[in-house]
Amino acid sequence: MRVLILSWEFPPSAAGGTAAHVDGLAHALARLGHEVVVLTRRVPGGEPDATLGGVRVLRADIELPWLPDNQVASTASANHALVAAFAATNGWRPDVIHAHDWSVAWAADVIGTATAAPIVTTFHGTERGRHGGHLKPGASTDINSIEWWQAYRSRRMTAATKLMVREIVDGFEVDPSHVTRIPSGIDPGWWRAPGPDESVLTGRSGLVLAWGRVQYEKGFQVLARAVGSLRYRIGGLECTIAGRGSYLPELQSQVDVAGVGDIVELPGFVSDNELRAATHRAGCIVIPSLYEPFGIVALEALASGAPLVVADTGGLAELVGGTGSALLFEPGNAEHLADCIEQVLTDQELADELVERGHELLEATYSWEAIAARTLNVYGDAVAASGP
């Protein structure tokens, strides 16, 4: 098939799991013999258009400095640049268009109309879900309306968890048969291998590691409080929370208030190799999300071989609950999280068991080739539903 994938995020612009998902899926489809074009935005100073591993990547220049500081307006205008960049394909016509989240909805609709290609949308989260079911007037309400329209315009939809499937079916009142659960995937070999600055894998330390977009719903403030209660219970304790986001200044304030600024580091953005090296020496990895529709970081953590502690919420609970691959704690409960971290850092037998179960889970369920094959079935349904 000829597949056009539209995504706001694509490496090296990787804020969250969407970029990793699109990258892994696109290359798996190419390895299976399909013709794949990825249409995404170019970050300032970013990569040029290129063909990487059989995937053609087109990047649109979206910087429009005259626009007001309005997320919806600037994103909608940037979609004009995405459509213009599609012209670089010189008449290439996709069999199917795969859009990822609301930020590319307009471009997907325009290109779909122009080429008569059906649209498949993957929702990596919904605005209503991110705000606990409540929408504030303004940007949140606008984004929710765009998601409604996008769901209506899509022939088929996918989501990574049963939770997300229910959010889409109930939230947008769509036919349940039009929404398919397809989990995200992972390349375990890359995460397990030593990085360029690691000649050999070092032993694990008292490092508690977390990463991702720094937003309130990611729950990093809960981890900061948990570390505060652990500092006199565990010798050599340290914590790194890597990532950028609008909540970072508030998180720094909470770290200072909790009195843990000397043992909690907020380095901001770290490279993939730096992150991989940190996972190899971490005593445990924590995903403290208050809301998490899937949680690709959980798969990355399992692949790295670090013991895992996650919030018992949403896609995280669905991903690892009942598998024995992680300890689960009550979302938002810093004391419960502290107890789980203490167990993992002080009980080597428990830590080893969590790692072994994590490897088993990855190998059985989350290879990119299997996920690509399931996605192709959805593409086929979308094409068939479009008629001649």
Angle between helices 17-31 and 368-385 (to 10 degrees): 80
Give the pLDDT of residue 70.
83
Pairing state of beta strands 50-52 and 55-61? Answer: antiparallel
* Contact (Cβ atoms closer than 8 angstroms) between residue 223 and residue 310: no
Give the pLDDT of residue 284.
95
Rounded CA-CA distance 56/37 in Å is 5
Q: 2-185+367-385 has which fold?
A: Rossmann fold (3.40.50)
Cite the residue boundaries of each domain of the chain with CATH code 3.40.50.2000: 2-185+367-385, 188-365
Task: Give the closest residue to 60 by CA, choosing from 69, 71, 49.
Answer: 49
Give the pLDDT of residue 229.
93
Query: What tens-digit pLDDT sequence spans the chain (388 residues)?
Result: 999 999 999 988 665 678 989 999 999 999 999 999 999 998 877 788 999 899 999 999 887 655 667 889 889 989 999 999 999 888 999 999 999 999 999 999 999 999 999 999 999 989 998 877 788 888 899 999 999 999 999 999 999 888 889 999 999 999 999 999 998 888 888 888 888 877 665 668 899 999 998 999 999 999 999 999 999 999 899 999 999 999 999 999 999 998 999 999 999 999 989 999 999 999 999 999 998 877 778 888 899 999 999 999 877 888 888 999 999 999 999 999 999 999 999 999 999 999 999 988 887 778 888 899 999 999 999 999 987 6
Task: Give the closest residue to 123 by CA, choosing from 97, 90, 159.
Answer: 159
Give the pLDDT of residue 133.
78
Give the pLDDT of residue 241.
97
Q: Residue 12, preceding bond cis, omega within 30 degrees?
A: yes
Measured in degrees and rounded to the nearest 5, phi and psi for residue 214 equal: -85, 90
What is the 3-class SS of 113-135, one letter each residue? Answer: HHHCCCEEEECCCCHHHHCCCCC
Instruction: Spell out a b/e string for 222-253, using b for 16 or more CB atoms within 10 Å of the CB, else e.
Output: bbbbbbbbbbeebeebbbbbbbebebbeebbe
pLDDT one-digit tens code per residue, 268-307: 999 989 999 999 999 999 999 998 877 778 888 899 999 9
* Contact (Cβ atoms closer than 8 angstroms) between residue 325 and residue 354: yes
Give the pLDDT of residue 385.
93
Q: 188-365 has which fold?
A: Rossmann fold (3.40.50)
* Contact (Cβ atoms closer than 8 angstroms) between residue 337 and residue 222: yes
Q: Which two tokens stand for residue 2?
A: 């000829």
Q: Which two tokens stand for residue 198?
A: 């690691």
Give the pLDDT of residue 16.
62
Q: Which two tokens stand for residue 213?
A: 């977009």
DSSP H or E segment with residue 256: helix 248-257
Rounded CA-CA distance 211/200 in Å is 23
Give the pLDDT of residue 83.
96
DSSP 103: G
Rounded CA-CA distance 241/259 in Å is 16
Rounded CA-CA distance 221/155 in Å is 39
Region for residue 53 given its phi and psi (left: phi exceeds 0; alpha: psi -120 to 50; beta: otherwise): left
Half-sphere exposure of 155 (CA within 13 A, CB side): 22
* Contact (Cβ atoms closer than 8 angstroms) between residue 67 and residue 224: no
Measured in degrees and rounded to the nearest 5, phi and psi for residue 64 equal: -130, 85
Measured in degrees and rounded to the nearest 5, phi and psi for residue 210 equal: -145, 150
Give the pLDDT of residue 202.
61
Rounded CA-CA distance 307/358 in Å is 8
pTM score: 0.73
